[in-house]
Amino acid sequence: DSSVLKLDIISKSQKRNIAVMTSGGDAPGMNANVRAIVRSAIFRGCKPFAVYEGYSGLVKGGDYIKEMHWEDVRGWLVEGGTLIGTARCKEFTQRPGRLSACKNLIDAGIDALIVCGGDGSLTGADVFRSEWPSLIKELLDNGQITREKYEKHQHLNICGTVGSIDNDMCSTNATIGAYSSLDRICRAIDYIDATANSHSRAFVVEVMGRHCGWLALMSGLATSADYILIPEKPSSSKEWQDQMCEIVSKHRSRGRRKTIVVVAEGAIANDLTPITSKDVKDVLVNRLGLDTRITTLGHVQRGGTAVAYDRMLATLQGVEAVQAVLECTPDTPSPMIGIKENKIVRRPLAEAVKLTKSVAAAIDSRNFKKAMELRDSAFSEHLKNFMAMNSADHNKPNLPLEKRKKIAIINVGAPAGGMNSAVYAMATYCMSRGHIPYTIHNGFSGLARHESVRSVDWISIENWNSLGGSEIGTNRTLPSEVDIGLIAYYFQKYQFEGLILVGGFEAFLSLEQLQNARVSFPAFRIPMVLIPATISNNVPGTEYSLGCDTCLNSLMDYCDIVKQSAAATRDRVFVVEVQGGNSGYIATFAQLISGGQASYVPEEGISLKQLEMDINSLRGSFASGEGTSKSGKLLIKSSNASEVLTTEVIADIILEEADGRFDARTAIPGHVQQGGIPSAIDRTRGARFAIKAVEFIENANYDVEHTAVVLGIERSHLKFTPIRKLYDYETRLKKRMRKDVFWNDIREIADILVGRTKLKDQS
């Protein structure tokens, strides 16, 4: 594994000429990857180059290999596709093509090559690397290179960053572009939902994924589709047709007016015959008599700007790739940069390619169990969850009577994307198991004042998965602020046997109060789980809270627009004020993904010296003409970064110091940051969290400490931590913050990539 990102400037002897290329199908985020590679290479004292048009440019050489400068990649975070071009190149699959590529790289003086592409491109890179010694030997023997060059270029230093919308590469949990593509699919299905509902139609939606059902599975889960067909889990033609018809009929009989079936491009039956959208449509028409349409999403899935996650992933992978090529010795296997359990990692490229190919081979040999095992563990968990929520017959739940429980769910705190998805998944999953789900409306104040408990009816929640806000209502009132005795009374009255709280820091405090009150109120001696949901990401016990991703995406869109406006006027700086309480998480990531010149956060405060340095740097760029080019400058500031230096004051100081060369304005997105429609990440994580929480309640044996827990994500694993432990040891109560801040590396990278100089003595 790579450790923390080490970003020291390297010594002269390590200076390299590092080339980057994008190859295979384009994927949103590739430009962010190239930007990060170019800029971190420059930061490290190396010379970056871009190979245009993928392997084709490598084979052609000459002008296709160009040195890149800092400003060449300005504004690239926002752009979709790949600006250095990509191609599918036949010549490179043959040795003569690779021989030319080898010569062109040596002629351009390239020491290291970073390839951003899918499994095909990385296979090509691996072939190239393994053949390299014989290629340079051939060039030497033919007199095409000098002995000196031959000696100098003994090894090809190569590194892969995985850009592919299919998310089909082994050894990484996510590929650059996959979540953007998922976002496009979910939006499309949300649109289709409305028309399907209006006409009571069925839609068969075909999505990309030749050997990988990730897009189909995740979009099916995020949009509560009725059925999905993916290559990893095929059944016989009769089985899938019967199962699909049974599930669709069941959903229709419960009152659902629309039917959505998501089909992966590579869907197959277990005898390997392809299942086409037309096959699916015919079954829905002939057996169920549904008015059915096919929508093939096609290239829309590749389109547009990258989502926040992909910008972050591509940027961090780019920085790590430069680090990796600088650290590689002739003996180190070529690395591929991936993300495993929320951490950027290096894996041997050849091994990752081999594993990926073995999935396709497993499917071809009908070893579907193996294909499934080769996907990461979250894949099978999501599939299990999807099946549990959708295929279950709620009239015949699968738990024995004595194990069925009455489980309540409540939202506490400010709204956050994914709250509704969690409620939806909790209720649907409960019904499939035989539990009785209850929703408590309008938080603890609603319960105490209006006895706002409702049992859930399947049809009334059916589209909640994709709704923003909180359908059951949420507020910041703590149990102690109403009447904890009255709350206990209602828990007793409804005989709740489990409670799920979905919310932020107030939910955390509420859970602590309920746990404390167990001494006096037996009604609270039931398993209670908190699902963190807050855009501030300040809940102890988790690295991720529902709503953060939705918030970052809406902030990213906002910043892109403001930046464009700043760029258009040529002479303007915006100070963007973001929320997050005393947590600088959102501000930090917003800077990283929108290319802000700086972010000011509560953990650091704002020193006048740093502000002066930042203003000087702005003056420099406007004076040099850079600021008046199409760059658009943003400073991101957490609303709580400083009591004195408010957003207005900072804008005024900048204006004062600008000597009339440029203008400064404030931009305050405010509640827009809650994000509207939840992102695909928050929808699917909401479901994952909720189902885990129900399972916890099912299996918990009551004890006073260990059954009041926070369900958190650490890396990508879900884990339960007792509230007592978190509250007593891992919380800064006054600041309403977790004690450890894990985003300092990100702050450093965000600064480096915009060339910000930071005061060293700040903590």
181 binds ligand ATP (CB under 6 A): no
Written as six digits, the tokens of 376 are: 């990461």
What is the nearest approach in angstroms of ligand ATP to the Cβ of residue 316?
Answer: 20
Q: Which two tokens stand for residue 701?
A: 């044996």
- From the list 74-82, 114-122, 267-275, 308-316, the region that binds ligand ATP by CB under 6 A is 114-122
Instruction: Provide, rounded to whole angstroms, the least separation between the CB of residue 175 and ligand ATP.
Output: 8
- Any known ligand binding at 513? no
**Closest CB to ligand ATP among residues 92, 496:** 92
Options 2, 5, 61, 93; binder of ligand ATP; rule CB under 6 A: 93
Q: In the bound complex, what is the minimum distance in angstroms from residue 27's beta carbon to ligand ATP?
A: 7
Q: How far is CA 115 from CA 47, 68, 129, in A?
A: 16, 16, 12
157 contacts 328 by C-beta, under 8 angstroms: yes
- 317 counts as binding ligand ATP under rule CB under 6 A: no
Residue 90 has φ and ψ, to the nearest 5°, of -70, -40
Told to judge if 310 belongs to the known catalytic residues of this protein, a careful annotator would answer no
Among 164, 292, 323, 470, binds ligand ATP (CB under 6 A): 164
**Residue 342 CB coordination number (10 Å):** 15
- The SS3 assignment for 384 reads helix
Window of 89-97, 194-202, 377-385, 751-759 that interacts with ligand ATP by CB under 6 A: 89-97
- 104 assigned ligand-binding residue: no
* Contact call for residue 92 and ligand ATP (CB under 6 A): yes
556 belongs to the binding site for ligand ATP (CB under 6 A): no
> Bridge partners of 409?
439, 500
The distance of closest approach from Cβ of residue 24 to ligand ATP in the complex, given in angstroms and rounded to an integer, is 2
End-to-end CA, the chain: 27
- What letter represents residue 488's amino acid? A
Residue 675 marked ligand-binding: no
Q: How far apart are CA 417 and CA 681, in angstroms?
A: 10
Q: How many residues bind to ligand ATP according to rule CB under 6 A?
A: 18
Residue 11, judged by CB atoms within 10 A of its CB (0-12, 13-18, 19+), counts as exposed
Nearest to 308 by CA among 566, 558, 71, 34: 558
**Which residues lie below 8 Å from residue 96, measured CB to CB, with a gap of 6+?**
none
Instruction: Give least dist CB 48 to ligand ATP, A.
Output: 21
417 lies in the site for ligand ATP, by CB under 6 A: no
Q: Which residues pair with 47 in a beta bridge?
A: 17
Residue recorded with tokens 């404030």: 666
Query: Applying CB under 6 A, does 55 fall inside the site for ligand ATP?
Result: yes
Q: Is 732 annotated as a binding residue?
A: no
Residue nearest ligand ATP by beta-carbon distance: 120
Name the catalytic one among 26, 111, 166, 168. Answer: 166
Cα dihedral angle (440, 446, 448, 454), rounded to 10 degrees?
-30
How far apart are CB 680 and ligand ATP at their closest, in Å? 19
How many whole angstroms from its chain centre is CA 196? 28
Q: Which is nearer to ligand ATP, 376 or 603 (CB)?
A: 376
Q: Which is nearer to ligand ATP, 54 or 541 (CB)?
A: 54
Q: Is 35 a known ligand-binding residue?
A: no
Match 């947590």 to its residue by tokens: 583
119 binds ligand ATP (CB under 6 A): yes
Helices (H), 700-742: 723-729
Residue 62 labelled as part of a binding site: no
Sole residue written with tokens 């051939």: 138
Question: Is 89 one of the binding residues for ligand ATP (CB under 6 A)?
Answer: yes
- Per CB under 6 A, 411 contacts ligand ATP: no
Burial class (CB in 10 A: 0-12, 13-18, 19+), 650: buried
117 counts as binding ligand ATP under rule CB under 6 A: yes
Q: Is 265 in the site for ligand ATP (CB under 6 A)?
A: no
Positive or negative, the Cα torsion across 227, 228, 232, 237? positive
Residue 432 labelled as part of a binding site: no
- Convert residues 581-600 into a mask of x (bound to ligand ATP by CB under 6 A) and - (unbound): --------------------
Minimum CB separation of residue 337 from ligand ATP in Å reads 15
**In this chain, which of 104, 121, 224, 582 binds ligand ATP, going by CB under 6 A?**
121
Residues 127-156 that bind ligand ATP (CB under 6 A): 127
Give the whole-angstrom CA distance, residue 187 versus residue 547.
17
Contacts with 172 (C-beta within 8 Å, 6 or more apart), sequence order: 162, 336, 338, 339, 340, 345, 347, 352
Q: Is 22 in the site for ligand ATP (CB under 6 A)?
A: no
The residues with which 20 forms a beta bridge, in sequence order, are 50, 114
Interacting span for ligand ATP (CB under 6 A) from 118-126, 138-146, 351-359, 638-646: 118-126
Contact between 338 and ligand ATP by CB under 6 A: the answer reads: no
* Pair 607, 601: CB distance under 8 Å: no
Position 23 contacts ligand ATP (CB under 6 A): yes
Among 53, 166, 232, 549, binds ligand ATP (CB under 6 A): 166
Residue 206 lies near ligand ATP (rule: CB under 6 A): no
Q: Does the footprint of ligand ATP cover residue 52 (CB under 6 A)?
A: no
Q: Which is nearer to ligand ATP, 121 or 466 (CB)?
A: 121
Distance, in Å, from the CA atom of 141 to the CA atom of 144, rounded to the nearest integer, reads 8
172 binds ligand ATP (CB under 6 A): no
120 binds ligand ATP (CB under 6 A): yes
Q: Is there a contact between 241 and 184 (Cβ–Cβ < 8 Å)?
A: no
| CB of 88 or CB of 343, closer to ligand ATP | 88
Those residues with Cβ within 8 angstroms of residue 278's Cβ, 6 or more apart along the chain or in another chain: 294
Q: From 121-129, 143-151, 449-457, 653-661, give the range in contact with ligand ATP by CB under 6 A.
A: 121-129
Tell me: is residue 299 an annotated ligand-binding position: yes
Q: Are 296 and 261 in contact (CB under 8 A)?
A: no
At 579, list the tokens: 């929320």
Instruction: Read off the DSSP letter of residue 689.
Output: H
Q: Is position 548 annotated in a ligand binding site? A: no
The sheet that has 292-296: what strands, in order across it?
227-229, 259-264, 202-207, 292-296
Residue ranges of the annotated binding site are: 25, 88-89, 118-121, 164-166, 201, 208-210, 265, 293, 299-302, 476, 534-538, 572, 579-581, 665, 671-674, 736
Residue ranges of the annotated binding site for ATP are: 25, 88-89, 118-121
Enumerate the active-site residues. Answer: 166
Residue ranges of the annotated binding site for Mg(2+) are: 119
Which residues contact ligand ATP (rule: CB under 6 A)? 23-25, 55, 88-89, 92-93, 117-121, 123-124, 127, 164, 166
